[in-house]
Amino acid sequence: MFDQAEIIFTPKSKKELWKRSEAAQKAGDLGMVKRTQALLALAAKAPPPQIAAVLQCSVQAVYLWSKDFILTGLDSLRRNWSGGRPAKLTGKQKQPLAAMIDAGPGTGGYAGEAWRSPLIQDLIFRQFGKFYSVKYIAELLKNLGFSYQKARFVADHPDEKKRAEWLANTWPEILALSRKKKALIVFGDEVSFPMWGSLSYTWRRRGRQHTVKTTGKRKGYKVFGLISYTDGKFFSAGTEERFNSNSYLEFIQGVLAKTKRHIILIQDGAKYHVSKQTRDFFQARKERLTVCQLPSYSPDYNPIERLWKKIKPSHLHRHYFPTFSDLKDKVQEAMLKYQDLQDEILKRFGFYRKFKTATN
């Protein structure tokens, strides 16, 4: 019906076709998406029958689109589209869609591990024959209980058996010991606050990127911390030195001096937490101190990690610290604030709170 050689696709026209195709996808104009994609496929020398099979349209339609392009060029893409919302998925269709999204892009035949709106747009069309605009997909996903969020790293080799045993057996035993000894249950960890600053997302005018001054000095202020599951107390101590057994034990000794109650200390496996010097210190104070180890590679089991994640963005993100003293003052200000916010500390314990609360 026509000779593909008769169609002239210049680099400029192909670029414009891509532009029109992307705009049509965002707008939810399925007809224009098929038309522009068909022309781009013809530019790549694909045969019309193959194009029709991929786009799920008739071969005759491909010929008509090509004829219009030969006669009027890019003007053939001007059409009146009524817009409006696309045909909605039914309630019965939304449930399997949500399950497909939960399963990840790989199970749908897509590359990568992150869902983007155009991928979900394609998934909905392939599975249910409904063509949503990219803009409306965000609203659809929110209604289905999804949110646009940042991924987090997790260890690729945790011991799931030990993690399960910790929740099923070790933690209930700790609660029982706390009631018996009227002890404080505290979770400990350390954090470093960099002088060079940290960034985060913020709303700004387009073209006016937010900037934050930095000295560029590779120095940080380090903090030891403990939070109490029992009563929401927060203990902390800063240091300019490296974390080691000496500085750790000095911190623990300071905490022991602030209470007469027995302390059940829950810690991770950092080297200075389990060194011979540290173990000897714990053994000499076993009448005042019981130490329990978290399962390996389980930061999600340590509630104080969630406290650090709250303090950093609220007190240090996008701040300029011209001197190290400025950084120390800001960190100490944050530490002092949370010493008086027991309710905020208790919120960090999440799933631990579903267990029977330890006796105060």
156 or 246, greater pLDDT = 246
CA dist 342 and 230 (Å) reads 10
Please determine, for residue 352, whether its predicted confidence score (pLDDT) is greater than 70. Answer: yes
Over 60: is that where the pLDDT of 54 sits?
yes
Does pLDDT of 359 surpass 60?
no
Q: Nearest-CA neighbor of 152 among 357, 306, 260?
A: 306
177 burial via Cβ count (<10 Å: 0-12, 13-18, 19+): middle
The pLDDT of residue 204 is 53
Using a pLDDT cut of 90, give the percent of the chain over it.
32
Task: Inform me whether the pLDDT recorded for 133 exceeds 50.
Answer: yes
Does the pLDDT value for residue 186 go beyond 70?
yes
Whole-Å CA distances, 229 to 20, 234, 300, 349: 58, 10, 15, 7
pLDDT over threshold 50, residue 48: yes
**pLDDT, greater one: 117 or 151:** 117
Q: What percent of the chain is modeled with pLDDT above 70?
A: 81
The length of the chain, given as a count of residues: 360
Q: Which residue has the tokens 């978290």?
A: 294
Please give the DSSP secondary-structure letter assigned to residue 198: B
Query: Is a pLDDT exceeding 60 seen at residue 238?
Result: yes
- The count of other CB atoms within 10 Å of the CB of residue 360 is 9
Mean pLDDT of 145-174: 80
Checking if the pLDDT of 224 tops 90, the result is: yes
Interval 202-214: pLDDT, tens:
555 666 655 555 5
* d(C-alpha 41, C-alpha 14), whole Å: 10
pLDDT for residue 290: 97
Q: What is the mean pLDDT of residues 130-134?
A: 75
Q: Which residue has the higher pLDDT, 95 or 194?
A: 95
Question: Which pLDDT value is given to residue 80?
Answer: 47
The confidence band for 337, taking pLDDT boundaries of 50, 70 and 90, is confident
> Which range scores top for mean pLDDT: 31-40, 75-84, 302-311?
302-311
As given in the structure block, the two tokens for residue 286 are 């076993």
- Closest to 215 in 3D by CA, of 326, 289, 51: 326
Give residue for tokens 């224009």. 32
Q: What are the structural domains, with CATH classification, of the chain?
A: 4-77 (no CATH), 91-143 (no CATH), 162-354 (3.30.420.10)
The mean pLDDT of 270-274, rounded to a whole number, is 95
User: Which residue(s) pair with 193 in the sheet?
Assistant: 221
261 vs 14, higher pLDDT: 261
Mean pLDDT of the chain: 82
Confidence (pLDDT) at 82? 46
pLDDT the model gives residue 288: 96
Query: CA-to-CA distance for 39 and 57, rounded, in angstroms?
Result: 13
**What was the pLDDT predicted at 217?**
58
pLDDT, tens digit, 9 for 90 and up, residues 240-260: 888 999 999 999 999 999 999
238-268: buried (b, 16+ CB within 10 Å) or exposed (e) per residue? ebeeebebebbbebbeebbeeeebbbbbbbb
Q: How confident is the model at residue 107 (pLDDT cuts 50, 70, 90)?
A: confident
Please indicate whether residue 176 or residue 156 has the higher confidence score (pLDDT): 176
* Whole-angstrom Cα Rg for the chain: 30
pLDDT-wise least confident of 178-182, 340-344, 350-354: 350-354
